[in-house]
């Protein structure tokens, strides 16, 4: 594995020791970023099941200004830190060992919000949509934030998840990438104002 493009292009990335982590291949990663970027002008990214950290690191290399990496396994955390060091992106990153649900609660307390989220949970888990709704409820997503959900091709998530609209679906063998855009609800005052304007126009 390596960083494909951007400021850290070509830097090698380590894999997590053992068989418990399934890193996104360079081929899928390149296709994914061609769909959502491919480059960024700032913004903050959350890599929630970080594994090697390859997706979040690629986003930083391509122009995201800050990233938060979360994983439950210590081996993964050590690998993320080593890969950030190799890519020379340590100053732009925060790395936490935590369960995904608890991590979202901690990020809410810190008032964090994100423009891009990578969700690549173990394939046995089928709750990516629930995590997305939780992120919206906890105000962790900026308007029009993009969520990239990677899952096994034999499982389908809904096209419309409350607060989200799927914009792309791509299958790469056993791996499927579902890309969603967060459609933040208008504040109540804005809705009321819109209704008044609509009535005035009639």
pLDDT one-digit tens code per residue, 129-161 = 999 999 999 999 999 999 999 999 989 999 999
pLDDT at 196 over 90: no
pLDDT for the residue 185: 64
List the chain domain ranges: 26-201
What's the mean pLDDT when you consider all of the chain?
Answer: 89
Q: What is the pLDDT of residue 23?
A: 75
**pLDDT per position as a tens digit, 87-127:** 999 999 999 999 999 999 999 999 999 999 999 888 778 89
The per-residue pLDDT for 195 is 43
Per residue, what are the HEC states of the chain?
A: CECCCCCCCCCECCCCCCCCCCCCCHHHHHHHHHHHCCCCCCCEEEECCCCCCHHHHHHHHCCCCEEEEEECCHHHHHHHHHHHHHHCCHHHEEEEECCHHHHHHHHHHCCCCEEEEEECCCCCCCCHHHHHHHHHHCCCEEEEEEEEEEEECCCCCCCEECCEEEEEEEEECCEEEEEEEECCCCCHHHHHHHHHHHHHHC
pLDDT digits (tens, 9 = 90+) for 40-86: 999 999 999 999 999 999 999 999 999 999 999 999 999 999 999 99
Where does the pLDDT of residue 8 fall: very low under 50, low under 70, confident under 90, or very high at 90 and above?
very high
- Is the pLDDT assigned to residue 191 strictly greater than 50? no
Domain 26-201 has CATH 3.30.470.20: no
Amino acid 95: pLDDT: 98
pLDDT value of residue 165: 96
């Amino acid at each position: 594995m390596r960083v494909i493009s951007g400021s850290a292009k070509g830097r090698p990335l380590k894999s997590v020791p053992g068989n418990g982590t399934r890193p996104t291949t360079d081929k899928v990663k390149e296709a994914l970023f061609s769909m959502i970027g491919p480059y960024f002008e700032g913004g903050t990214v959350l890599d929630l099941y970080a594994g090697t950290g390859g997706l979040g690191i690629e986003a930083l290399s391509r122009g995201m200004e800050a990233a938060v990496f979360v994983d439950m396994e210590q081996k993964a955390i050590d690998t993320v830190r080593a890969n950030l060091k190799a890519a020379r992106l340590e100053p732009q990153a925060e790395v936490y060992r935590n369960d995904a649900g608890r991590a979202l609660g901690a990020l809410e307390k810190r008032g964090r919000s994100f423009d891009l989220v990578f969700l690549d949970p173990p394939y046995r888990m089928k709750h990516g949509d629930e995590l997305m709704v939780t992120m919206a409820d906890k105000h962790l997503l900026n308007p029009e934030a993009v969520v990239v959900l990677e899952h096994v091709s034999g499982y389908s998530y809904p096209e419309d998840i409350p607060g989200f609209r799927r914009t792309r679906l791509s299958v790469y063998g056993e791996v499927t990438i579902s890309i969603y855009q967060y459609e933040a609800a208008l504040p109540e005052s804005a809705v009321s104002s819109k209704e008044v304007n609509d009535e005035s126009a009639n």
